[in-house]
Structure 1
């Protein structure tokens, strides 16, 4: 298996990474509704780490947005490209995620990341970063809260409550299944918050976590185990 190496010139410290975030965040597009729910393709992205071996495995799984059936999947394994720093996690995995995306022949359509977009200390999490770099519409759907306050949404599927950071709504805590913990949805790039939540509900017909993330999570874990077995 080919290991994706860290790109030349990739930020090596916190100051350099923050500078890149500031520059790229100026390219965010926040005034588009985004693709229609249930049309075209939607691609789940996720990663798994082996910090002892300095490896990260990324998976990209394309689903038919209407049927939620898998159209295509791809993986890549690379070197962990940045130390662990909260708020800068995108820099640990983006080169490998981009390599997985590049291996797809199908149009990825909407990108769905297991992480955050605008719900981030500098309003530029992984979903926003990938959206800007690829030019594609993107959303973040995270399992756990991060850098905001929120009230519990109502108990029914589709109920939501705003995620607030310094008084700004940066996302929503969204109940994808009745009586189950919410997920945390934020805009990445070229999608409205209402559309991001509508896509998330459509992608979560049976479980708390969207099908995109469920498929990508399983695939990146398998890819990492294969890489470990070769090491």
Structure 2
């Protein structure tokens, strides 16, 4: 698939924050998003023990059957130091390279990370959405930002993830009695639609199949390397 060239790469946290500020107005947050995406891509990155070497993986699933349609992996190195709130800058070059390897242009990107539920309202899902122009959403394993009440214990239970008076995401229970995940919009999708997709992508396990398969693929490639 075609992906536009990324912006000039920052060397400092100040430069990285300026890029987030410049790109944030490009977010389309009133788009309802794809109701029945034919293809859905999961993106994940695994790191070697040294913390610098990594493998980015993209797995494209059929939106109806959840069967794997296409895969891509790209080894690389962290492109930016670890700075809270700027984690996307470590992974974006390798993730964009993996997306460029795809023959399929997915209808939806699902990131293992945050979108609007981010201290600067511009997490990885937002960044990828703006650079690709595709609908994107984040499903995080842990809470990066915001406060919330505990959702109910049954599958499908939710609680709003709040930043003051603003809803920045939703805490979603994908299976009875398991820890919830943290869903937030990235670009060109609304929160209700994002949660519906996250639940549909998680028929048997806590994490969406997009994340599970991309994680397995990146870890296997890292072991092979």
TM category, shorter: over 0.9
Contact 1:62 1:70 in 2 (8 A): yes
Aligned to 1:213: 211
Alpha-carbon distance in structure 2 between the residues aligned to 1:90 and 1:226: 25
Map 1:12-23 → 2, pairs under 5 A:
12-23=11-22
Aligned to 1:28: 27
**Deviation at residue 52 of structure 1 after TM alignment:** 2.3
Deviations 1:184-204 (A, max 9, x none): 000010000000000000000
RMSD, aligned α-carbons = 1.3
- DSSP 3-state at the match of 1:119: coil
Structure 2 length as normaliser, TM-score?
Answer: 0.95
1:143 aligns with 2:146: no
Structure 1: segments with no counterpart, 5+ residues: 1-6
1:99 aligns with 2:102: no
1:115 aligns with 2:118: no
Moved over 6 A (4+): none
1:185/1:56 Cα in 2 relative to 1: closer, same or farther (>3 Å)?
same
Structure 1 length as normaliser, TM-score?
Answer: 0.92
Alpha-carbon distance in structure 2 between the residues aligned to 1:8 and 1:33: 27
Aligned to 1:70: 68
Map 1:146-185 → 2, pairs under 5 A:
146-185=144-183
Residues matched between the structures, number: 220
Alpha-carbon distance in structure 2 between the residues aligned to 1:43 and 1:103: 13
Deviations 1:96-153 (A, max 9, x none): 0000010010122200000000000010000000000000000000000111111110
Contact 1:42 1:108 in 2 (8 A): yes
Moved more, 144-153 or 188-197: 144-153
- DSSP 3-state at the match of 1:149: coil
Contact 1:51 1:80 in 2 (8 A): no
1:161/1:123 Cα in 2 relative to 1: closer, same or farther (>3 Å)?
same
1:51/1:87 Cα in 2 relative to 1: closer, same or farther (>3 Å)?
farther
**Deviation at residue 8 of structure 1 after TM alignment:** 9.0
2:194 aligned to which of 193, 196, 202: 196
